[in-house]
Amino acid sequence: MASRGRGVAPFLVILAFLVAQCFHQSTEAKKVTTNLHFFFHDTIGGPDPSAVLVASAVGRTGGPLAAFGNLFVLDDPLREGPEADSPVVGYARGFSMSTSRRSMMFVMGLDYGFTAGPFNGSSFSVFSQNPILDGDRELAVIGGRGKFRMAQGFALLRTHSVNDTSGDAVVEYNVTLFHDE
């Protein structure tokens, strides 16, 4: 009689595994890939800057913008094109800090929120190093909200133009997001 029950335990383990697999597959959201292209307009000079120095390291070298330890708060417009009068599609809001004693390296924590177009009300977030003097660079996307909920991905950046006197810059963004449907 005892031998009849021996086959039940392995069967129950296999059955539990199959049920767990079915549940796991049915609760996984489908991932969608979205590609975005826009221009980040960073204005440091003039009467209405979109990036403001809020903390500066005393006695550091590297110029007023790049001094190690400088912290900026940003509210930069995202535009369709590189022109200053190009339509605004959103804003990048957050911070940028000079984090290298030897190069122009910033760590950025920004939320890229869209205020126009098909992604109005949605945003994605970046927290990454940005070696601003490199021609091409890549930032890590760490999350999102709205249509970009649970986003992961990357942003490929290329500086379009820089004003050497004011420090104002226009940066082209090509972003690839993987997010829930």
108 - beta bridge partners? 96, 128
User: What per-residue confidence (pLDDT) applies to 4?
Assistant: 55
Tokens in use for 56?
């500066």
Mean pLDDT, rounded, for 90-99? 95
Tell me which residue of 35, 107, 22 sits closest to 70, measured CA to CA: 107
Average pLDDT, the chain: 87
Residues 6 or more apart whose CB falls under 8 angstroms from that of 79 comprise 38, 39, 41, 86, 87, 88, 89
Whether 70 shows a pLDDT value over 50: the answer reads yes
Whether 166 shows a pLDDT value over 90: the answer reads no
pLDDT, tens digit (0-9, with 9 covering 90-100), for 14-52: 656 666 665 554 455 688 999 999 999 999 988 999 999
Question: In 3-state terms, what secondary structure has residue 101?
Answer: coil
Whether 172 shows a pLDDT value over 90: the answer reads yes
CA distances from 7 to 1, 3, 10, 76, 131 (A): 12, 8, 6, 66, 62
Question: Percent of the chain at pLDDT above 90?
Answer: 64
Mean pLDDT, rounded, for 66-77? 91
Whether 63 shows a pLDDT value over 70: the answer reads no
User: What per-residue confidence (pLDDT) applies to 26?
Assistant: 46
Q: What's the rounded Cα separation, in Å, for the pair 103 and 67?
A: 10
User: What per-residue confidence (pLDDT) applies to 65?
Assistant: 66
Q: What's the rounded Cα separation, in Å, for the pair 140 and 175?
A: 10
CB 83 within 8 Å of CB 64: no
User: What per-residue confidence (pLDDT) applies to 73?
Assistant: 97
Whether 173 shows a pLDDT value over 90: the answer reads yes
Q: Which domains does the chain have, with CATH numbers?
A: 30-180 (2.40.480.10)
CB 145 within 8 Å of CB 121: no
Residues 6 or more apart whose CB falls under 8 angstroms from that of 165 comprise 45
Name the pTM for this structure. 0.81
Tokens in use for 128?
């990454």
Whether 103 shows a pLDDT value over 70: the answer reads yes
Where is pLDDT greater, at 20 or 140?
140
